[in-house]
């Protein structure tokens, strides 16, 4: 397997100087011989799982946040013996990462007792510590929600004088911005408090079972941990409750007459039962409608509260099902019964008593860590992030007033430290009574950066670069990105496809078993799921919990990005329908209306052209 | 042709010399050998098996005695060394010629013919074509695999041919290899016993073998099926690369489908009523020889057979083209799998041994994952 040398990748013409859009330490460099050699001898893979599109300068904040948090927990807090942190680089807006191994066996040995003591403490006290975590996390979110972003007044309020405040709104604005950023970084500190250990427990359970049964599909192992209640399903459950309530109150027609929330809401306000229903809705909007319509990683992933047409569409789907007499409950009883049957049968095929004991231990451990591995997503990527993006929009509104940017959504083209600089520019100019310097420089730079990002989007990042190592020990690399010999070979092949319309067969990860043939519907965003017809096969870049209502209509799902623990795979297993995930580019190859065959047991997809 | 010996002279008493498959169970290896007893056992387990009957070891002993063969063999083998291939070969040839040329007694011949006639009536086919195969008492047992040393004759039709091939099966106990093996292992030749099975030929559209574990790695959680059009001979003999399916034993999902180019087919010649090898029509060579529903049904049967025997099994099967779907898959043979069942469960060096989950996680972290 051969991947390009990182230093051989040339800038796309017209984007020269793009490096200034990202932190300087993210560049591959040639002027530092030691660093250059390290970069060449290291294996870097493209993190397409989190970044299906190039990074906006501001959105890079989460990459920096996890660069720090994941690595510190691995290396400085728990001391995972054979691996330090995960290193990061950016090429043309795409993030490349690499686990850093500890090479000296003696050093690994010295790290073992620390790891056993520290990680052991977390495993042993998991539930109690997780309870603490929730409190810390909720407090952090509350703090962010409470933050005031003050506009800069023409004249400070008299109370500043009479109460001897001694501080201006200019200072408060600068401080508020720092506070937002710091809360964001803190939230990501918590994000990884349990995650490394959670994934380790999970991945090595998978590993153990796969060694006992070399042919067992990974999805069958994950099925042994299915049917556990996690809060990621709660928003969807709330939609079902609202659908039932609308039918009970006899106002389902008023809820379904339009796909536009701005038409539905006033209509409901006219009706007494409508007002009752709206009150019920308001109750669940906090926090459940902070679920993102995307993964939450990008600023453009708006939450339901900001895109009410999305939950409305879900409620309408469920109302339709209820009226047709279809059961909309998640089949939890069946899922659990099937889980127990499968677990018992596999367990029964284990021949040695000691292996059965080990199986029980590891399964128990995996079940303990599973809820966190799922639930942290709601707290961090959905709830916190959704509030966070909107706080930054408040800051952007002030930048717009002062002429630094022309549109609120332009703010994402600035790095977070550039925003801080611009805020200094704005506040000092405001205090002084002059025009900020940035009003002449930033709009031009932002236009240029928009062009650069567009060129980045049209570029296909190679799946990996640098030198492939013999062994990877970092648990995330294995379980999340699925970096294995086979997947690397597949990536190399995927990258070679020049003409998507010539492809008739391709493969992804077998996400959920079963074989289905049907008509494809390509949905690029969650807004598109309204077009789904009953019994179609959903083809999407990736799915997230706000896509849940789609799964009530479809009979199979195909995604570009994601592993067997991705949202689409988990939900399809629960619904008992086939899924093929992480295909690389299904949304480019498949077009709406094509007849396709999805084999969720082997990961194969074929198209009848 | 030698004189027919007199009947019942010195014959063993009331022991049955012939019996139907459904009359025996797996404990009857001493009576009808491994293959026939396992067919009886399968019938009792509710598995669909083509009907048939066996010449028991008593029937065999009676033939060997009445025909005078058993009296002559010791002299023909005296002083033989298991390394002396040339002399072994000569002795084998002489013994086998002798066996194949000696007739059954009138009484035994009549009994076999009567069972054969009743089988034909049961199958509603005049002079029903049968598979005649030896069913050894020492063969096919776990740890003593010398399968294939006895012969199988397919598509045998008519009493005379049935009797002739029964004798050929018996004579196959005395191949040079079998004699050498017994000499080396110290088995007395007189104590060797054999049964012969006569089973209705499945008129197979597709046939093959099935293992209730993965033959490549011993994985107990899968069932592996090899199949080709026509009779199973092409698969068993390795003359074609068959289609290959891996089925999840727990969930009955088809995990792998490998469709190969299958150049030959064994079928029945409609004129001679014999099994013939033909070249598969080009356009059929790469067609999947077993449809998905049949794969799953077969795997379900495999799972039931394994559960019945309580151990991994090696199974021969066929899909009969004369019968409607749903009742057309037959199990022809099932025997304990011998390669992996002696070994312990797949145990690659990389499985760390650890007491607690924590120790296991540490050991796994230290071992890492091989990438290339």
* pLDDT tens digits, one per residue of B246-282: 999 999 989 888 898 999 999 888 787 777 889 999 9
In chain B, which among 187-216 make CB contacts under 8 A with chain A?
214
A196 confidence band (pLDDT: 50, 70, 90): confident
In chain B, which among 239-278 make CB contacts under 8 A with chain A?
246, 248-251, 253-257
Cβ contact, residue pair A601, B354, below 8 Å: no
Residues B113 and B185 in one domain: yes
Answer whether residue B141 is part of any domain: yes
Output the CA–CA distances (angstroms, integers) from residue A554 to A300, A551, A578, B83, in the order listed.
Answer: 26, 5, 10, 70
Q: What are the structure tokens assigned to B53, written together? A: 């009957």
Of A427, A306, A375, A347, the C-alpha closest to A137 is: A375
Look at strands A537-540 and A556-559 and give their pairing.
parallel
More confident residue, A182 or A510: A182
Q: Is B278 exposed, middle or buried (0-12, 13-18, 19+ CB in 10 A)?
A: exposed
Residues B183 and B260 in one domain: no
Task: Give the integer Cα–Cα distance in Å for A605 and A498.
Answer: 18
Conformational region of residue A523, where left means phi above 0, alpha means psi within -120 to 50, and beta covers everything else: beta
What is the residue-wise DSSP string for B31-75? HHHHHHHHHHHHHHTT-----EEEE-HHHHHHHHHHTSHHHHHHH
B interface test, pick of A73, A201, A215 with most B CB neighbours within 10 Å: A215
What is the residue-wise DSSP string for A90-132? EETTEEEEEEEE---HHHHHHHHHHHHHHHHHHHHTHHHHHHH
Output the CA–CA distances (angstroms, integers) from residue A455 to A61, A178, A257, A448, in the order listed.
Answer: 22, 32, 42, 11
Element (H, E) at B227: strand B222-229
Residues B281 and B260 in one domain: yes
Q: What are the structure tokens assigned to B2, written together? A: 């030698």
pLDDT reading at B350 higher than 60: no
Answer whether residue A437 is part of any domain: no
pTM summary value: 0.77
Domain boundary among B174, B200, B226: B200
Residues of A with CB below 8 A from B214's CB?
214-215
Answer whether residue B244 is part of any domain: yes
B133 neighbors B151 (Cβ within 8 angstroms): yes
Answer whether residue B179 is part of any domain: yes
Element (H, E) at A187: helix A169-191
pLDDT per residue as tens digits for the range B38-49: 899 889 888 889
What does the pLDDT read at residue A252?
Answer: 94
Domain boundary among B200, B234, B267: B200
CA–CA min distance B256, chain A (Å): 7
Residues B178 and B213 in one domain: no
Residues B236 and B306 in one domain: yes
Answer whether residue B279 is part of any domain: yes
Answer whether residue B3 is part of any domain: no
Residues of B with CB below 8 A from A216's CB?
219, 221, 248
pLDDT reading at B372 higher than 50: no
- The CATH number of the domain where B139 resides is what? 3.30.1490.20
Q: What is the DSSP letter of A380?
A: I
Answer whether residue B355 is part of any domain: no
Answer whether residue A583 is part of any domain: yes
CA–CA min distance A173, chain B (Å): 47
pLDDT per residue as tens digits for the range B136-160: 886 533 334 443 455 788 889 999 9
Residues B66 and B109 in one domain: yes
Answer whether residue B7 is part of any domain: no
Conformational region of residue A325, where left means phi above 0, alpha means psi within -120 to 50, and beta covers everything else: left
Answer whether residue A534 is part of any domain: yes
Residues B189 and B43 in one domain: yes
Residues B140 and B246 in one domain: no
Q: How many domains does chain A have?
A: 1
pLDDT per residue as tens digits for the range B116-132: 999 999 888 889 999 89
Domain boundary among B180, B200, B220: B200
Give the rounded distance of the alpha carbon of A371 from its chain centre.
Answer: 17
Residues of B with CB below 8 A from A108's CB?
366
Of A289, A296, A287, the C-alpha closest to A381 is: A296
Q: How many domains does chain B have?
A: 2
Q: What are the structure tokens assigned to A238, written together? A: 């709330």
Answer whether residue B284 is part of any domain: yes
Answer whether residue A318 is part of any domain: no
CA–CA min distance A145, chain B (Å): 39
Residues B140 and B209 in one domain: no
Answer whether residue A28 is part of any domain: no
Answer whether residue A558 is part of any domain: yes
Answer whether residue A250 is part of any domain: no
Which residue segment(s) compose the domain that B274 sits in? Answer: 204-336
- The CATH number of the domain where A512 resides is what? 3.50.30.10
- The CATH number of the domain where B263 resides is what? 3.30.470.20
- If one counts every other C-beta atom within 10 angstroms of the C-beta of residue B79, the result is 6
pLDDT reading at A387 higher than 50: yes
A492 confidence band (pLDDT: 50, 70, 90): low
pLDDT per residue as tens digits for the range A49-75: 788 789 999 999 999 999 999 999 999
Which residue segment(s) compose the domain that A517 sits in? Answer: 500-608
Return the axis-axis angle of helices B57-66 and B159-171, rounded to nearest 10°.
90
Residues B265 and B149 in one domain: no
B8 confidence band (pLDDT: 50, 70, 90): very low
Q: Does B186 touch chain A (CB under 8 A)?
A: no
Q: Does B295 touch chain A (CB under 8 A)?
A: no
Residues B173 and B297 in one domain: no
What is the residue-wise DSSP string for B202-213? P-EEEEEEEESS
Q: Does B351 touch chain A (CB under 8 A)?
A: yes
- If one counts every other C-beta atom within 10 angstroms of the C-beta of residue A25, the result is 13
Instruction: State the count of interchain CB pairs (< 8 A) between A and B.
Output: 131
Residues B86 and B142 in one domain: yes
More confident residue, A143 or A493: A143
Answer whether residue A280 is part of any domain: no
């Amino acid at each position: 397997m051969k991947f390009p040398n990182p230093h051989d990748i040339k800038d796309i013409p017209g984007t020269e100087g793009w490096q200034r859009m990202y932190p300087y330490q993210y560049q591959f460099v040639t002027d530092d011989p030691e660093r250059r050699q390290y970069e060449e001898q290291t294996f870097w893979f493209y993190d397409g799982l989190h970044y299906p599109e190039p990074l906006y300068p501001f959105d890079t904040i989460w990459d920096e946040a996890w660069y720090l948090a994941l690595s510190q927990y691995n290396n400085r807090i728990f001391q995972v013996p054979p691996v330090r942190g995960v290193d990061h680089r950016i090429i043309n807006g795409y993030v490349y990462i690499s686990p850093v191994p500890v090479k000296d066996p003696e050093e690994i040995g010295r790290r073992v007792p620390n790891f056993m003591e520290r990680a052991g403490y977390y495993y042993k006290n998991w539930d109690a510590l997780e309870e603490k975590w929730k409190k810390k996390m909720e407090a952090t979110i509350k703090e962010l929600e409470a933050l005031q972003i003050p506009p800069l007044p023409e004249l400070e309020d008299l109370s500043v004088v009479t109460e001897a405040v001694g501080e201006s709104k200019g200072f408060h604005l600068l401080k508020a911005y720092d506070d937002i950023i710091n809360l964001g970084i803190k939230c990501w500190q918590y994000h990884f408090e349990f995650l490394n250990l959670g994934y380790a427990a999970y991945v090595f359970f998978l590993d153990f079972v796969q060694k006992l049964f070399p042919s067992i599909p990974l999805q069958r192992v994950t099925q042994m941990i299915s049917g556990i209640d996690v809060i990621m399903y709660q928003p969807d459950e709330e939609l079902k409750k609202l659908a039932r309530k609308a039918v009970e109150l006899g106002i389902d027609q008023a809820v379904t007459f339009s796909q536009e929330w701005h038409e539905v809401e006033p209509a409901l306000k006219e009706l007494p039962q409508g007002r009752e229903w709206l009150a019920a809705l308001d109750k669940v909007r906090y926090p459940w409608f902070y679920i993102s319509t995307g993964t939450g990683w990008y600023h453009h992933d708006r939450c339901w509260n900001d895109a009410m047409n999305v939950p409305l569409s879900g409620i309408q789907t469920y109302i339709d099902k209820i009226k047709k007499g279809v059961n909309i409950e998640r089949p939890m009883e069946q899922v659990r019964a099937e889980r127990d049957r499968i677990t018992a049968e596999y367990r029964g095929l284990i021949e040695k008593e000691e292996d059965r004991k080990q199986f029980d231990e590891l399964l128990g451990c995996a079940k303990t860590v599973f809820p966190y591995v799922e639930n942290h997503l709601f707290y961090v990527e959905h709830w916190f992030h959704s509030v966070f993006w909107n706080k930054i929009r408040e800051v952007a509104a002030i930048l717009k007033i002062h002429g630094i940017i022309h549109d609120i959504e332009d703010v994402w083209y600035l790095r977070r430290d550039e925003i801080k600089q611009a805020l200094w520019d704005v506040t000092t100019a405001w205090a002084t009574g002059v025009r900020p310097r940035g009003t002449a420089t930033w709009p031009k730079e932002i236009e240029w950066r928009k062009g650069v990002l567009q060129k980045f989007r049209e570029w296909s990042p190679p799946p990996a670069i640098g030198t492939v190592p013999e062994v990877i020990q970092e648990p995330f690399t294995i379980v999340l990105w699925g970096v294995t010999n086979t997947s690397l070979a597949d990536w190399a092949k995927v990258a070679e496809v020049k003409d998507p319309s010539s492809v008739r067969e391709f493969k992804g990860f077998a996400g959920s078993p079963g074989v289905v043939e049907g008509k494809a519907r390509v949905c690029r965003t969650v807004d598109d799921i309204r077009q789904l017809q009953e019994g179609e096969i959903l083809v999407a870049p990736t799915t997230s919990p706000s896509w849940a209502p789609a799964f009530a209509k479809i009979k199979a799902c195909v995604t570009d990005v994601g592993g067997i623990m991705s949202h689409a795979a988990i939900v399809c297993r629960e619904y008992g329908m086939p899924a093929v995930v992480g295909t690389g580019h299904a949304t480019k190859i498949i077009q709406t209306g094509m007849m396709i065959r999805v084999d969720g047991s082997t990961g194969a997809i074929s198209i009848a052209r | 042709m030698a004189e027919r010996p007199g009947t019942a002279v010195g014959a063993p008493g009331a022991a049955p010399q012939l019996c139907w498959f459904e009359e025996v169970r797996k404990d009857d290896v001493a009576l009808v050998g491994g293959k026939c007893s396992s067919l009886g056992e399968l019938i009792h387990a509710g598995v669909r098996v083509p009907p048939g009957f066996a010449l028991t070891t008593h029937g065999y002993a009676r033939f060997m005695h009445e025909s005078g063969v058993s009296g002559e063999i010791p002299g023909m083998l005296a002083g033989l060394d298991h390394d002396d291939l040339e002399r072994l070969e000569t002795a084998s040839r002489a013994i086998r010629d002798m066996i194949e040329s000696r007739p059954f007694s009138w009484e035994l011949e009549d009994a076999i013919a009567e069972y054969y006639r009743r089988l034909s009536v049961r199958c509603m086919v005049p002079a029903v074509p049968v598979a005649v195969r030896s069913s050894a008492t020492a063969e096919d047992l776990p740890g003593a695999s010398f399968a294939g040393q006895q012969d199988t004759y397919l598509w045998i039709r008519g009493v005379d041919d049935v009797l002739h091939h029964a004798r050929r099966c018996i004579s196959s106990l005395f191949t040079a290899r079998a004699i050498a093996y017994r000499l080396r292992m110290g088995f007395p030749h007189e104590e060797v016993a054999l049964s012969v099975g006569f089973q209705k030929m499945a008129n197979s559209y597709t046939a093959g073998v099935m293992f209730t574990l993965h033959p490549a790695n011993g994985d107990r959680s899968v069932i592996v099926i090899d199949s080709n059009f026509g009779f199973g001979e092409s698969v068993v003999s390795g003359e074609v690369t068959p289609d290959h399916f891996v089925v999840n034993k727990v969930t009955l999902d088809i995990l792998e489908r490998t469709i190969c180019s299958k150049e030959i087919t064994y079928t029945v010649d409609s004129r001679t009523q014999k099994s013939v090898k033909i070249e598969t029509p080009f356009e059929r060579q790469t067609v999947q020889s077993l449809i998905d529903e049949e794969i799953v049904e077969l795997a379900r049967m495999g799972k039931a057979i394994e559960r019945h025997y309580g151990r991994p099994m090696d199974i021969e099967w066929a899909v009969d083209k004369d019968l409607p779907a749903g009742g057309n898959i037959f199990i022809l043979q099932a025997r304990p799998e011998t390669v992996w069942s002696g070994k312990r469960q797949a145990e690659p060096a990389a499985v760390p041994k650890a007491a607690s989950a924590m120790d296991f996680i540490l050991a796994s972290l230290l071992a890492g994952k091989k990438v290339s």
